[in-house]
Amino acid sequence: TEDFFLLPLAPSRSVPPGSPSQQHITMTLIDQHCMNRIGTGAAVGGALGASIGAMYGTYEAIRYKVPGLYKIRYIGQTTVSSAAVFGLFLGAGSLLHCGRR
């Protein structure tokens, strides 16, 4: 059902091109496109942040000699926090970029 919003609309004979209803349809498509871009940016940022956080967390856990199973907890915390920050910033950047037309 989401693909429906990405398809271009064929011009209708009953709705003139400059009418308010045609503008509403166009704005709905643009808004849906922006939401897709923001979601994609946040997902890519989260994946990138998680991978970098996992590598950095592993490095720090080994460097500071975190004992036993605390290593897994430390790596997990670093992974999740890094993914959240990267996802937030890439999603925000996509939002700002989407506003430019």
- pLDDT (tens digit per residue) in 23-68: 566 666 668 888 899 999 999 999 999 999 999 999 999 999 999 9
86 contacts 55 by C-beta, under 8 angstroms: no
C-alpha distance from residue 37 to each of 48, 55, 61, 64, 77 (Å): 16, 27, 35, 39, 27
Identify the residue with better confidence: 79 or 97: 79
Calpha distance 37→60 (Å, rounded): 34
Q: Which whole number is the average pLDDT over 82-86?
A: 98
Average of per-residue pLDDT across 61-89: 96
pLDDT at 9 over 60: no
Phi-psi bin for 68: left (phi > 0), alpha (psi -120 to 50), beta? left
Q: What is the pLDDT of residue 49?
A: 98
Specify the higher pLDDT residue, 35 or 101.
Answer: 35
Structure tokens of 72? 């897994």
% residues pLDDT > 70 (the chain): 69
